[in-house]
C-alpha cells in the first residue's frame, strides 16, 4: 500500500538561534517597559534550517511519511532546496522568489526556555502564488503559519478540493480577526494551537475551547510540559507529555509534534494516538539543538512509544 502524501503549507526559514545564559525576567523591569531598552549577551549563535513547513516535513519524513511541503524560499534558498532533495523530500511545490531573502527568524532563548523572536517574512510573503492544485493528489494537509494571503487561499482551496486539513495558525494568529478565524474553523477538519494561542483564539472568536471544538472533528491544544488536550466527540482527552532524555532547545518542538500528528492521522491511528506520537516527537526533538538536527529510526521511535504509552505504534 502506498504511503499517503501529506501537503504541508507553511513557511521555510533560516533560524538564527541564540542562547542567553540568564533569565529575561531578571533583565526586564516591569515598571520600565514603556521605555524598554535591553541587550542580551548571547555567547552562542547557531544558524539552522527552520520554518514550520520545513520542520514539519522533516519530522514526518523521519517517521516514514511522504511530506509535500508547499512554501517559498528566497535567492539564498538553494542550500535548503538541496537539503530537502538529499533527504528525499518532495520539492516540486517549493517556489524560489529571486527578489527576496528566505524568511529569517532570530530567536533568543533564556535558561527558562522563554523565547524572544524577531521574524523577517521575505519570500514567505509570496506564498499565495502557490496553489493547492500544484500538489496533485494528497490525503491530508496542514495550513501552518505562512503569508497571510497564502494561509487564507490555501484553506479555501483545500476545502474546495475536499482535502481534510489541520488549521494551525501558530505565530500567524495575530494577523487574523474574528471573521477570518471563524472561516478557517468552518473550513478545517482539525485545529491545532498551543495553550497561549488557544487563549488568543478564544478571546478573538468569543468562544470557549469546548465551543470551538464543535466546529472541527478535533481541537488539539498543546501545553508544553503539561502534555496536550484533545477535544473531540464532545470529550476532552488528556495526553501526557513524554519525558525527554534532556532538555536542550524547545525550538521546533511544536512542529515535531505536528509531524507526528500528521503521520498518525494520515495512517488512520486516530487523533488521540496521533497526538501521543506527536508528544513523543516533541520529546525527541527537545533533546537536540535546532529544529531539524535530531534523527531516530522507526524502530527506535516505536520502542520509545511503547515505553511511554504501553501501546504498539505500527
Q: What is the pLDDT of residues 107-150, one digit of tens each?
A: 898 988 788 889 899 999 999 999 999 999 999 999 999 999 99
Phi, psi of 156, rounded to the nearest 5 degrees = -65, -45
Span 275-300, mean pLDDT? Answer: 96
Span 228-281, pLDDT tens digits: 999 999 999 999 999 999 998 888 999 999 999 999 999 999 999 999 999 999
Of 23 and 17, more confident: 23
Span 178-203, mean pLDDT? Answer: 98
What pLDDT score does 119 carry?
A: 87
- Please count the other Cβ atoms lying within 10 Å of the Cβ belonging to residue 39: 6
- The helix or strand, by DSSP H or E, that contains position 57, with its residue range, turns out to be helix 52-62
Please report where in the chains the cell 478571546 appears, as a residue.
203
Among the four given CATH numbers 3.40.1190.20, 3.40.50.360, 3.30.70.360, 3.40.50.300, the one describing domain 5-24+41-303: 3.40.1190.20
Span 156-163, mean pLDDT? Answer: 98
Phi, psi of 16, rounded to the nearest 5 degrees = -95, 110
What pLDDT score does 27 carry?
A: 87
Q: Among 75-84, 108-117, 209-218, whose mean pLDDT is lowest? A: 108-117
User: Distance between CA atoms of 51 and 120, rounded to whole angstroms?
Assistant: 11
Rg over alpha carbons for the chain, rounded to the nearest Å, is 19
pTM: predicted TM-score of the whole model, two decimal places = 0.92
Span 275-293, mean pLDDT? Answer: 96
In this predicted structure, the answer to whether residue 76 has a pLDDT above a threshold of 90 is yes
What pLDDT score does 7 carry?
A: 98
Given the DSSP bridges, would you call strands 115-120 and 140-143 parallel, antiparallel or unpaired? unpaired
CA distances from 276 to 25, 159, 198, 228, 292 (A): 33, 27, 19, 9, 20
Q: Rounded mean pLDDT of the chain? A: 95
Apex 161 CA angle, 73 and 218, nearest 5:
85
* Cα dihedral 180→181→184→190 (10° resolution): 170
What pLDDT score does 1 carry?
A: 65
Q: How confident is the model at residue 2 (pLDDT cuts 50, 70, 90)?
A: confident
Phi, psi of 269, rounded to the nearest 5 degrees = -80, -10
Percentage of the chain modeled with pLDDT above 90:
85
CA 104 and chain centroid, separation: 16
Span 97-104, mean pLDDT? Answer: 97
Amino acid at each position: 500500500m502506498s504511503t499517503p502524501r501529506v501537503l504541508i503549507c507553511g513557511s521555510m526559514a533560516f533560524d538564527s538561534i541564540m542562547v542567553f545564559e540568564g533569565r529575561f525576567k531578571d533583565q526586564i523591569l516591569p515598571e520600565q517597559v514603556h521605555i524598554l531598552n535591553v541587550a542580551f549577551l548571547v555567547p552562542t549563535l547557531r544558524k539552522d534550517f527552520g520554518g514550520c513547513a520545513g520542520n514539519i516535513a522533516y519530522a514526518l519524513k523521519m517517521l516514514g511519511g511522504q511530506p509535500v511541503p508547499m512554501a517559498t524560499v528566497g535567492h539564498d534558498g538553494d542550500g535548503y532546496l538541496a537539503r530537502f532533495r538529499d533527504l528525499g523530500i518532495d520539492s516540486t511545490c517549493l517556489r524560489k522568489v529571486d527578489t527576496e531573502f528566505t524568511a529569517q527568524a532570530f530567536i533568543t532563548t533564556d535558561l527558562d526556555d522563554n523565547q524572544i523572536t524577531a521574524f523577517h517574512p521575505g519570500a514567505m510573503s509570496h506564498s499565495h502564488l502557490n496553489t493547492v492544485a500544484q500538489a496533485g493528489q494528497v490525503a491530508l494537509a496542514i495550513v501552518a503559519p505562512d503569508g497571510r494571503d497564502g494561509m487564507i487561499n490555501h484553506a479555501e482551496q483545500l476545502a474546495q478540493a475536499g482535502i481534510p486539513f489541520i488549521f494551525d495558525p501558530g505565530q500567524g494568529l495575530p494577523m487574523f480577526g474574528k471573521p477570518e478565524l471563524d472561516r478557517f474553523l468552518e473550513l478545517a477538519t482539525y485545529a491545532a494551537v498551543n495553550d497561549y494561542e488557544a487563549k488568543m483564539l478564544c478571546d478573538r472568536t468569543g468562544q470557549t475551547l469546548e465551543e470551538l471544538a464543535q466546529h472541527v472533528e478535533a481541537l488539539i491544544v498543546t501545553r508544553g510540559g503539561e502534555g496536550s488536550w484533545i477535544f473531540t466527540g464532545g470529550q476532552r482527552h488528556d495526553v501526557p507529555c513524554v519525558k525527554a532524555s534532556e532538555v536542550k532547545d524547545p525550538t521546533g518542538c511544536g512542529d515535531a509534534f505536528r509531524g507526528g500528528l500528521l503521520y498518525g492521522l494520515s495512517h488512520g491511528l486516530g487523533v488521540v494516538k496521533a497526538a501521543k506520537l506527536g508528544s513523543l516527537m516533541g520529546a525527541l526533538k527537545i533533546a537536540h539543538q535546532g529544529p531539524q538536527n535530531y534523527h531516530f529510526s522507526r524502530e527506535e521511535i516505536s520502542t520509545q512509544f511503547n515505553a511511554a504509552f504501553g501501546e504498539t505504534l505500527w
